[in-house]
């Protein structure tokens, strides 16, 4: 058994005890989770069922995390957080849409949705526990390239029943057949015009960057390919990938660890242990560009550029995350010279794709179609200047503040804490990763940002997509790069 005398921010005694210092550490916690994955090694898990769990004592404000592992390999994380009168039970499986068969994208997502639907079937013994009807939507699924998740949110009283119910969904020898049908995509707010536009841009950019790699496909699946999925495909994913020794059970909320472990062990102890399936995907070469794809139509112009950066934890993710904020600030300034179109103002944003940790960096904007060529030139020039010109310290300070605010929004809820813990384990960030985060963040200087920008934000390797009424802009667009497709 291994034991850590550390909380999420590091080991006791490493930080000042003043209230201002505590606040600073709270603000640093969330961005460090996604960011410092790159710098600190993972933590070897050696606990087996029956041994004393590893506990990280709570020395400041953030809740304690208890780590355990069952004989079948299931990893267990329990966090007692009594700020809310709820318990979140989340089962995270470290296989996702990247393992969908060719021509059947969306299999992973449909499987977990069908699994939840089957569990609620009245014909199933013990189906539809009363907590599922308590106050609306208390259960859901999530699907990404590298993981699928089933979660249930309940009151403290119903936590034991929720644990047993969740375990029953993944403890059958085969995919449960109770009421099994094609699970709906789930409830979602109707997308706005801008959201739909950016979704189309993102899909085109991923296809250009990843080509035949599974990351080029949407985890939710192509509408045509969804119709080709058979029950045998769902059973294949269930048997091969929903296995205990590549899964994590996360419990966060108004609970006591010692009261839940006797329920978790026999319930999830029956989850199947399987043979791990290694990823064998080969990344395609980087583009020689800029390569520009044009999709004709529409008075609203969508413009996007993207480039692959780092696929997994890496020391450059911290400066890259800061660069994202700096790019956004510069684009806001640049958009001041673009006119409104109809009732919509021009909008731009930059992101690192967390679905492939982070995989690719993308800048996109919506403008009037007549301004599409000029917007593409602005995006490419913004990237180019970051690698050629010095970055002001004031820009760096504003970007840091943005990351800190992001933390405050995430760590205030049990759901946010559960997401953080899942990301830590999914990408092997290590339990004491944040011990040096404050100094690392403060140690990133303008010269580090310029180095990383020069290494990754190369316009000549960017994929570019324009959607809108191009008209006479085509010749101007050709001056910016190689137009590979017009349709």
Domain residue extents for the chain: 6-199+209-268, 291-402+435-486
Whole-number pLDDT of residue 119: 65
Report how far apart, in Å, the C-alpha atoms of 18 and of each of 24, 56, 153, 401, 438 are.
Answer: 10, 21, 35, 20, 16
CA 173 to chain centre: 30
pLDDT one digit per residue (tens) for the chain, 487 residues: 333 333 333 333 332 333 333 334 344 344 443 333 333 333 333 344 545 565 544 334 457 788 999 999 999 999 998 888 889 999 999 999 999 999 999 999 999 988 887 766 555 555 455 554 444 446 788 999 999 999 988 888 889 988 998 998 898 877 766 545 545 444 455 677 778 888 899 999 999 999 999 999 999 999 899 999 998 999 999 999 999 999 999 999 999 889 999 999 999 999 999 999 998 888 999 888 899 999 988 788 899 999 999 888 788 988 999 999 999 999 999 999 999 887 778 999 999 987 777 899 999 999 999 999 999 999 999 999 999 999 999 999 999 988 878 877 777 788 888 888 888 888 877 776 645 666 777 888 999 999 999 999 999 999 999 999 998 999 999 999 999 878 7
Q: Provide the CB-side half-sphere exposure for 260 (13 A, CA).
A: 30
Do 6-199+209-268 and 291-402+435-486 come out as alike in CATH topology? Answer: yes
* CB 12, CB 55: distance < 8 Å: no
Identify which of 122, 327, 108, 307 has the alpha carbon closest to the alpha carbon of residue 220.
108
Report how far apart, in Å, the C-alpha atoms of 27 and of each of 7, 52, 409, 430 are.
Answer: 15, 32, 9, 19
DSSP H helical ranges for 86-185: 107-119, 159-169
Whole-number pLDDT of residue 325: 95
CB-neighbour burial class of residue 293 (10 A; exposed 0-12, middle 13-18, buried 19+): buried
Domain 291-402+435-486 has CATH 3.40.1390.10: no
Q: Which tokens hold the place of 289?
A: 């560009």
* CB 7, CB 56: distance < 8 Å: yes
Identify which of 245, 247, 248, 249 has the alpha carbon closest to the alpha carbon of residue 274.
245
Whole-number pLDDT of residue 484: 87
CA angle 126, 130, 131 (to 5 degrees): 115
Cα dihedral: 120, 123, 127, 131 (round 10): 70
CA angle 55, 56, 60 (to 5 degrees): 145
**Architecture of the domain whose range is 6-199+209-268:** 2-Layer Sandwich (3.30)
pTM: 0.80
């Amino acid at each position: 058994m291994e034991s850590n005398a550390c909380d999420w921010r590091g080991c006791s005694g490493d930080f000042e005890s003043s209230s201002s210092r505590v606040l600073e550490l709270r603000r640093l916690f969330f961005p460090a989770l996604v960011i410092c994955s790159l710098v600190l090694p993972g933590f070897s898990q050696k606990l087996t069922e029956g041994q004393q769990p590893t506990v990280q004592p709570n020395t400041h404000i953030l809740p304690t995390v208890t780590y355990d592992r069952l004989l079948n390999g299931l990893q267990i994380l329990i966090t007692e957080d009594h700020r809310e009168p709820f318990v979140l039970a989340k089962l995270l499986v470290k296989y996702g849409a990247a393992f969908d068969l060719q021509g059947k994208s969306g299999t992973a997502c449909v499987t977990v949705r069908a699994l939840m639907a089957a569990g609620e079937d009245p014909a199933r013994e013990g189906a539809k526990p009363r907590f599922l009807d308590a106050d609306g939507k208390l259960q859901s699924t999530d699907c990404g390239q590298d993981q699928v998740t089933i979660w249930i949110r309940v009151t403290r009283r119903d936590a034991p029943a929720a644990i047993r119910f969740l375990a029953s969904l993944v403890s059958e020898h085969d995919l449960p057949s109770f009421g099994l049908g094609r699970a709906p995509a789930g409830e979602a707010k109707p997308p706005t015009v801008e959201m739909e536009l950016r979704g189309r841009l993102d899909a085109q950019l991923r296809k250009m960057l990843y080509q035949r790699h599974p990351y080029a496909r949407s985890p939710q699946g192509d509408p045509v390919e969804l119709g080709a999925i058979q029950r045998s495909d769902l059973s294949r994913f269930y048997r091969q990938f929903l296995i205990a020794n590549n899964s994590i059970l996360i419990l966060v909320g108004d609970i006591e660890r010692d009261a839940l472990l006797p329920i978790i062990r026999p319930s999830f102890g029956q989850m199947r242990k399987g043979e791990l399936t290694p990823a064998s995907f080969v990344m395609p070469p980087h583009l020689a560009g800029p390569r520009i794809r044009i999709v004709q139509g529409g008075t609203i112009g969508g413009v996007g550029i993207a480039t692959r950066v780092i696929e997994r934890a890496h020391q450059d993710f911290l400066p890259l995350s800061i660069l994202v904020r700096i790019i956004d600030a510069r684009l806001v300034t640049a958009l001041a010279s673009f006119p409104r179109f109809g009732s919509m103002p021009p909008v731009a944003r930059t992101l690192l794709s967390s679905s492939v940790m982070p995989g690719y960096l993308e800048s996109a904007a919506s403008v009037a179609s007549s301004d599409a060529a000029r917007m593409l030139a602005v995006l490419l020039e913004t990237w180019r200047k970051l690698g050629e010109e010095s970055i002001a310290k004031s820009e760096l300070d504003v970007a840091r503040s943005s990351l800190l605010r992001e933390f405050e929004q995430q760590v205030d809820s049990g759901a946010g804490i559960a997401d953080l813990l899942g990301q830590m384990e999914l990408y092997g960030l290590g339990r004491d990763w944040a011990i040096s985060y404050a100094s690392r963040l403060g140690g990133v200087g303008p010269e580090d940002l310029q180095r990383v920008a020069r290494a990754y934000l190369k316009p000549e390797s960017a994929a570019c997509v324009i959607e809108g009424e191009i008209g006479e802009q085509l010749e101007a667009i050709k001056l910016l790069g190689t137009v590979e497709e017009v349709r």
